Amino acid sequence: MIDYDVVVIGGGLAGFSSALRCIERGLKTAVVSHGQSAMHFSSGSIDVLSHSPTTGEAVSNPFDEIAELAKTSSLHPYAKLGEKRVFESLSWFQQLMSKHGLPLKHQGSLDNHYRVSSLGTLKSTWLSQPYVWQLDQNFSALNQINRIILVSIEGFRDFQPEIAKAKLARLPMFADKELLTVKITLDTSGIAQRNCHEFRSIDVSRLLRQEADFASVCSQLRQVATPNDVVLMPSILGNGDGLALMEKLAAETHLKFHEVPTMPPSLLGIRIEDTLRRAFIEAGGALHIGDEVTHGVFKQNGDQLSLACLYTRKMRTVPINTKFVVLASGSFFSKGLKAEHHKVSEPIFDLDIEDIGGRESWYSKHFFSRKSHPFMNFGVSTNREFKPLKAQQCIDNVYCAGSILAHYDPIAHGCGGGVAISTGFHVADAIAESQESACYAQKLSHSQQPNQSQKKGALV
Ligand SMILES: Cc1cc2nc3c(=O)[nH]c(=O)nc-3n(C[C@H](O)[C@H](O)[C@H](O)COP(=O)(O)OP(=O)(O)OC[C@H]3O[C@@H](n4cnc5c(N)ncnc54)[C@H](O)[C@@H]3O)c2cc1C
């Protein structure tokens, strides 16, 4: 039998944010995580709110818009938290990442910034890694550079600089900028012999750990770029090394870099997950990686429904006992939600799902419509404290966080990272407070109980 204060189901951005906050609040915490999280596929920048859920318009300052959500989209997770709490959670996250070697930055104005994507489009986001070139909303950063050099590696298919260049050239703010594409070469014979189709960012990062290859890249870059240019290159450094190699590259070449996420695996996203995982283990958390929570046993006490214990695929009949659970198992992408032809369900606890209507209303007819596809907003029903419902009854000791929640579209509204961090952080605090008040109540009842000698009526 294993006992914890909190078990977090899911090792994505929401799960680790919640678990790290639980540990900080003194709770004995475990994470059970099944597979890769959405971070392996992400840009590694944290989107807080790029587009208004109400109007669909681009948002300048996400916190101003979040303050309005209580009036216009009261079920949105941000509306339940309020802008101050969202800001507090993101500041906490920033400090945590910084402490563990991955500083994330935002604009001094607290406005969103643009980053150039691997396809040469501009994406609005809020927190980015140090080698992501932040373009403010007036594009004033463009005045400080001469040229944009788009670099890729010969034979590497997951970033095509010509496509990015063609797209960038069509944007009016880049009209007077010289855009240049360059291919650099690496000795990839070892990889080609193994499997010529498997030349991914991870393989390049492994090659670039070797001194000779790294030095060759530095020298080729120095020949094509100057410190007045921006070198836009795929994220190919630092699988498991954090920022160390990017820092070394910048120091040895004196160039200004902009890392773009490649096709998955995305090293920018993996860097965040690695950092969170390391921080969690260093803080004393228990990580059940590669295991999967299959179901739980519930107990009904009067009108109170609570979860008694959990079972996992690997531990089979051995239950995990826990006072609280944070369900952060993600959306359809991570199997936190399951879609069948006419039904959407939550597979672990069979929780209630928000009303989704008939299948014909699940999606917009136009795939690339700027409006959100309704299915992206599907998720579990929760009360204002993010406690889920099961057969319309609130579960007292379970909380939900991240993309399993209903009523927001992480992609269309650019708020996936922000909702994951802020809901994870918030539910951890709610658990800590509920645990503290339970302890206080227990102490109080003990101190009010007559001691043995009093019970027997003895004179003290
Ligand atoms: C492809 C993609 C790219 C994205 N890019 C960005 C981006 O660049 N920036 C941004 O801000 N947002 C991005 N998002 C939005 C994304 O939803 C959030 O940023 C966030 O990462 C979601 O985190 P999460 O922890 O809720 O879920 P997830 O990251 O999906 O993690 C859920 C975890 O739970 C595990 N799990 C599921 N079931 C079980 C079980 N039964 N037992 C144990 N573990 C289980 C899964 O294996 C997974 O590891 C992206 C989303 C997708 C799908």
Q: Which tens digits make up the pLDDT trace of 313-363?
A: 998 899 999 999 999 999 999 999 999 998 999 999 999 999 888 888 888
Whether residues 416 and 277 share a domain: the answer is yes
Q: Would the pLDDT of 312 be above 90?
A: yes
Does 190 share its domain with 256?
A: yes
Token code pair at residue 62: 């996400």
Q: Whose CA is nearest to atom 51 of ligand 1?
A: 38
- The count of structural domains within the chain is 2
CATH code where residue 66 lies: 3.50.50.60
Nearest protein CA to atom 47 of ligand 1, as residue: 35
Residues 252 and 281 in one domain: no
Tell me: do 246 and 126 sit in the same domain. yes
pLDDT single digits (tens) 221-259: 999 999 999 999 999 998 888 899 999 999 999 999 999
What would the mean pLDDT of 99-123 be, rounded to a whole number? 97
Question: What's the burial of 357, exposed, middle or buried (CB within 10 Å: 0-12/13-18/19+)?
Answer: exposed
Shared domain check, 254 and 137: yes
For the stretch 129-179, pLDDT in tens is 999 999 999 999 999 999 999 999 988 889 999 999 999 999 999 999 999
* CATH number of the domain within which 245 lies: 3.40.50
What is the reported pLDDT for 451?
59
The answer to whether residue 192 scores a pLDDT higher than 80 is: no
| pLDDT tens figures, 278-307 | 999 999 999 999 999 999 999 999 999 999
Structure confidence by residue, pLDDT tens digits, 360-389:
888 888 887 777 889 989 999 999 999 999
- Say if residue 439 is in the same domain as residue 297: yes
Determine, yes or no, domain membership for 155. yes
Lowest mean pLDDT across 101-105, 390-394, 442-446: 442-446
298 and 437 belong to one structural domain: yes
Domain end residue (candidates: 260, 290, 324): 260
- Do 362 and 436 fall into the same domain? yes
Residue whose CA is closest, atom 31 of ligand 1? 12
> C-alpha distances in angstroms, 290 versus 9, 294, 311, 333, 334?
12, 13, 14, 17, 13
CA of 330 to the centre of ligand 1 (A): 5
Pocket of ligand 1, candidates 37, 327, 346, 409: which has the most ligand atoms within 8 Å of its Cβ, to mutate? Answer: 37
Q: Would you say residue 450 lies in a domain?
A: no
Do 255 and 277 lie in one domain? The reply is no
For residue 228, the enclosing domain spans 118-260
The answer to whether residues 212 and 349 belong to one domain is no
- Amino acid in position 319: P
Q: Flag whether 266 is in a domain.
A: no
pLDDT for residue 397 is more than 50: yes
**Are residues 220 and 343 both part of a single domain?**
no
pLDDT of residue 456: 41
> Can you give the pLDDT at residue 455?
45
Do both 332 and 416 map to the same domain? Answer: yes
Ligand 1: centre distance to CA 48 (Å): 15
| Atom of ligand 1 at shortest range from CA of 418 | 11
pLDDT for res 194: 63
Atom number in ligand 1 closest to CA 401: 26
Does residue 34's CB lie within 6 angstroms of at least one atom of ligand 1?
yes
Asked whether residue 369 is assigned to any structural domain, the reply reads: yes
Beta bridge partners of 258: 232
> Cβ(137)–Cβ(114) under 8 Å?
yes
Task: Say whether pLDDT at 395 is over 50.
Answer: yes
